[in-house]
A = this chain, B = another copy of it.
Amino acid sequence: MTYCCGMMLERGLVLMSDTRTNSGVDNISIFRKMHHWSMPGERVVAIMTAGNLATTQSVISKLEERNKAPSERHNTVLEAPTMFQVASIVGKLLRETIHERDADNGMTGSGQFTASIIVAGQIKGMEPRIFLIYPEGNFIEAQPDTPFFQIGETKYGRPIILRGYEPDMTFEDAVKLMMVSFDSTIKANLSVGLPLDLLVIEKDKFEPLHERRIEVGDPYFRAISSTWGEALRRAFVSLPDYSFDLPPAAD
């Protein structure tokens, strides 16, 4: 499993992904699920992947044309004129890759080689954008009503984002919110784990503003994890008390 989240703020984009992959509980590895490319002053594009690792690694390799000699490679992510076209290209590669693998194994449609991808970034002259790409290759784009996408193990960490997200929040607060969401997920699902990869993309900057790997034992993540438990308990205590004598519903 995996957990990745991409968030659209007024001031830019915040992306976070875990790095745990597993094939059974006794075969656990660390793999990067977040990749990004930039041409300073012109564009920055990031991709986060969830699902079958062979499929998603293949998509990334094909994007960079690693099947060609280095001198003949063109990075399509850096050449597409719009983020929409980047999303289209990634979607097409994802669909093709899944279908090839499935066909090799006598299956049709999305079988065990399925995956989904978040594409985020900005190209000069246009707004920052986030897309969620399905295994079928089609995709949706984040909008103010739905300003964040999650892939992988999305449920445990969703309620806090629904409650805590504000479009005008600072990057620091958005990172804090992501950390809480990841902490809740990691506590509940063994297949999501540290280290985490963090990427902050400021609007109209066209290169990463902040990039960091949050390692096991990271003091800030540990502080969030321990103080969040205490803060939640205080929040819980502050709620109105239930009474067995409460009147029934008025309407």
Question: Which residues does A use to contact B, with CB under 8 Å?
Answer: 155-156, 158-160, 162-164, 171-173, 175-177, 179-180, 184, 187-188, 200, 209-210, 212, 214-220, 223-224, 227-229, 231-236, 238-244, 246-251
Residues of B within 8 A of A155 (CB): 155-156, 188
Main secondary structure of the interface of A (DSSP, over half): helix
- Docked-complex contact B210 and A249, CB < 8 angstroms: no
A-B contact pairs, 25 of them (CB 8 A): A155-B188, A156-B156, A156-B159, A159-B160, A159-B184, A162-B188, A163-B232, A172-B242, A175-B242, A176-B242, A180-B236, A180-B239, A209-B244, A217-B251, A218-B248, A218-B249, A220-B242, A220-B246, A223-B239, A223-B240, A227-B238, A231-B235, A232-B232, A232-B235, A235-B235
Which residue on B lies nearest to A177, using beta carbons?
Answer: B236
Contact flag A219-B250 (CB < 8 Å), given A155-B156, A158-B188, A240-B224:
yes
Of chain B, the residue at the smallest CB distance from A241 is B172
Q: Which residues of B contact A220 (CB under 8 A)?
A: 240, 242, 246
Asked if residues B231 and A219 are in contact (CB atoms below 8 Å), the reply is: no
B160 and A250 contact, CB distance less than 8 A: no
Residues of chain B within 8 A of A171, CB atoms compared: 244
**How many angstroms from the CA of A164 to the CA of B234 in the assembled complex?**
10
A175 to B241, CA, bound (A): 9
Q: Which residues of B contact A242 (CB under 8 A)?
A: 172-173, 175-176, 179, 220
> Judging by beta carbons under 8 Å apart, are A232 and B160 in contact?
yes
